[in-house]
């Protein structure tokens, strides 16, 4: 029993979903700013319930390779929501300040590998090269370095473990976001659902950095307005599922050229976040600030140098690719000139010899290779009676008719010289005789010259096959077919004299 096709939501549901998330998040922020945290908790919970429901629907109804993505994303988001519930309702004081990590910390940290596992297929399943991985590591360290400096300088020993746990959040945020961007923007076409996912992870990054900075000043609480960032992030995850469920004429987003430039600016954004974090947690201590500013300036110079080297490398790579493509085109054009007859477009003598050499080398027994040699009857009379332009037209038409036989890979028609043609083939002598009859019928068909005159011509054909030869070589096959053709021509002359030249009909 087949699975029914998924029923996608009408397009208007996308706009309604965006409006709902924006409205609820704005209401949550308003409740927090007006000192009503209980109401904010319930509105935030509403967003999370809607998100989990939408992700669950997408995990069942979205077709194709995106379905596993939403199944995994449902698990990751459910883990994150469970961590929030444990933190809000089960932690009376800040875990960062108690010195002991809680169950909420375990669930929060589990969320990151689950999120990476869920989003990795969006990058096409490809592993990142070494250089992007190093850039991700550098970006992550740049963001969290000020937090670790603060940890080593200010936090008492008993609270060190919980602080290390808390500082892991922005580090993992930066790692997940950078990895996702590197995976997604290595592709030219992206699913539209990637846009709200990237926005959601970005809001989680901002919220976690603010959480650590506020906690260092003992200014964070579950009712702080910064918590609306996590609510908005959950809403963005739900919108990604709604995007996949909503009917649209544009399922993919074609990456603009400026996106690549923005992604390359990632290390600078990391540096800005690090500087902002330091400003929030430093408490105006001038000596340490001066040292840190020097480190930041040095880091900025190194990043600028790295980016300039990257630009130079990309330009050099593009130039090398262009040169390689030009060389490949030149090589292909040269090969065509060396192996193609300019007048008829057929392979020339060199191509014919190469094909025979290859077949004979591939088949040690050499019992299934044949050559048909053909010569146009009375072709000199065509040149003398109608002109060389007419003779060239006859050769072109013969070439076109023989080209139709080349659709099979084990046949190769070729023009050897003048009005002499050959056809090399694989198969039995009987196949060669059948081909000879087919070619004779093709050439005997009337042809029309550019001036409107009609000619009817014929050809003499000779067949030589490897099965009737003791010493099978390329030259022996061609020579044998040539002699066979001349025997046919000689016998015709003996049977009817004089030889009938091409005829003309108006």
User: 3-class SS at 466?
Assistant: helix
Bridge partner residues of 447 (DSSP):
455
Q: Which two tokens stand for residue 147?
A: 């937090």
Helix (H) or strand (E) holding 420: strand 420-426
The CA distance from 214 to 282, in Å, is 11
Identify which of 471, 37, 97, 99 has the alpha carbon closest to the alpha carbon of residue 228. 37
Mind giving me the DSSP string for 106-140? HHHHHHHHHHHHHHGGGGTTPPPPHHHHHHHHHHH
* Contacts for 397-405: CB closer than 8 Å, 24+ residues apart: 397/447, 398/344, 398/443, 399/341, 399/343, 399/344, 399/345, 399/346, 400/344, 400/345, 401/442, 401/443, 401/445, 402/346, 402/439, 402/442, 403/345, 403/346, 404/442, 405/435, 405/438, 405/439
The CA distance from 180 to 240, in Å, is 15
Starting at the earlier edge strand, list the strands of the sheet with 503-505. Answer: 447-448, 454-456, 503-505
Residue entry with tokens 């290779």: 369
Q: At what angle do helices 12-33 and 228-245 cross, to 10 degrees?
A: 170
The CA distance from 452 to 216, in Å, is 96
Question: Is the separation of the CB atoms in 446 and 394 below 8 Å?
Answer: no
Going by their DSSP bridges, the two strands 369-377 and 252-254 should be labelled as unpaired
Q: Is 419 a catalytic residue?
A: yes
Q: Which residues are CB-neighbours of 132 under 8 A, at least 6 positions away?
A: 182, 186
Q: Could you say which DSSP state residue 373 is in?
A: E
Question: Is the separation of the CB atoms in 94 and 220 below 8 Å?
Answer: yes
Q: Could you say which DSSP state residue 100 is in?
A: S
Q: Which two tokens stand for residue 92?
A: 């009376």
Catalytic choice (208, 341, 419, 482): 419
Residue 63 has φ and ψ, to the nearest 5°, of -85, 170
Identify the sign of the CA torsion 372, 373, 378, 379.
positive
Enumerate the active-site residues: 419
């Amino acid at each position: 029993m087949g699975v029914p096709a998924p029923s996608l939501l009408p397009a208007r549901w996308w706009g309604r979903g965006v409006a709902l998330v924006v409205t609820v998040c704005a209401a949550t922020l308003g409740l927090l700013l007006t000192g009503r945290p209980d109401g904010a908790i319930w509105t935030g919970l509403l967003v999370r319930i809607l998100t989990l429901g939408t992700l669950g629907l997408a995990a069942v109804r979205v077709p194709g390779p995106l379905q596993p993505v939403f199944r995994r994303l449902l698990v990751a988001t459910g883990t994150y929501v469970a961590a929030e519930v444990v933190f809000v309702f089960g932690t009376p004081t800040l875990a960062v300040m108690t010195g002991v990590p809680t169950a909420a910390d375990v669930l929060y940290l589990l969320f990151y590998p689950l999120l990476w596992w869920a989003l990795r297929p969006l990058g096409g399943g490809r592993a990142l090269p070494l250089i992007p991985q190093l850039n991700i590591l550098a970006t992550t360290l740049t963001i969290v370095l000020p937090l670790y400096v603060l940890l080593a300088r200010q936090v008492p020993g008993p609270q060190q473990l919980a602080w290390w746990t808390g500082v892991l959040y922005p580090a993992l945020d930066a790692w997940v976001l950078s990895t996702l961007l590197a995976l997604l923007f290595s592709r030219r076409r992206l699913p539209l659902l990637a846009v709200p996912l990237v926005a959601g992870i970005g809001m989680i990054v901002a919220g976690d950095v603010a959480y650590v900075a506020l906690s260092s000043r003992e200014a964070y609480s579950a009712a702080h307005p910064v918590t609306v960032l996590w609510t908005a992030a959950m809403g963005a995850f739900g919108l990604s599922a709604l995007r996949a469920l909503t009917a649209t004429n544009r399922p993919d987003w074609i990456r603009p050229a400026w996106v690549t430039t923005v992604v390359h600016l990632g290390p600078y954004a990391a540096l800005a976040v690090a500087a902002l974090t330091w400003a929030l947690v430093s408490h105006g201590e001038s000596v340490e600030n001066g040292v840190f500013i020097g480190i930041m300036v040095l880091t900025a110079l190194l990043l600028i140098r790295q980016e300039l080297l990257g630009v130079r490398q990309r330009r050099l790579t593009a130039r090398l690719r262009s040169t390689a493509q030009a060389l490949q085109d030149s090589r292909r054009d040269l090969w065509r000139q060396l192996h193609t007859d300019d007048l008829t477009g057929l392979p020339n003598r060199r191509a014919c010899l190469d094909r025979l050499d290859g077949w004979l080398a591939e088949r040690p027994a050499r019992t299934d290779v044949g050559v048909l040699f053909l010569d146009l009857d009375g072709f000199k009379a065509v040149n003398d009676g109608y002109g060389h332009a007419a003779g060239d037209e006859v050769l072109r038409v013969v070439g076109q008719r023989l080209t139709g036989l080349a659709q099979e890979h084990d046949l190769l028609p070729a023009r050897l010289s003048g009005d002499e043609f050959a056809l090399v083939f694989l198969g039995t002598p009987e196949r060669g005789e059948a081909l000879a009859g087919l070619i004779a019928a093709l050439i005997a068909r009337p042809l029309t010259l550019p001036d409107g005159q009609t000619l009817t011509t014929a050809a003499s054909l000779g067949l030589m096959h490897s099965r009737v030869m003791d010493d099978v070589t390329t030259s022996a096959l061609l020579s044998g077919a040539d002699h066979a053709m001349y025997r046919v021509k000689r016998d015709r002359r003996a049977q009817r004299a004089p030889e009938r030249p091409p005829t003309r009909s108006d």
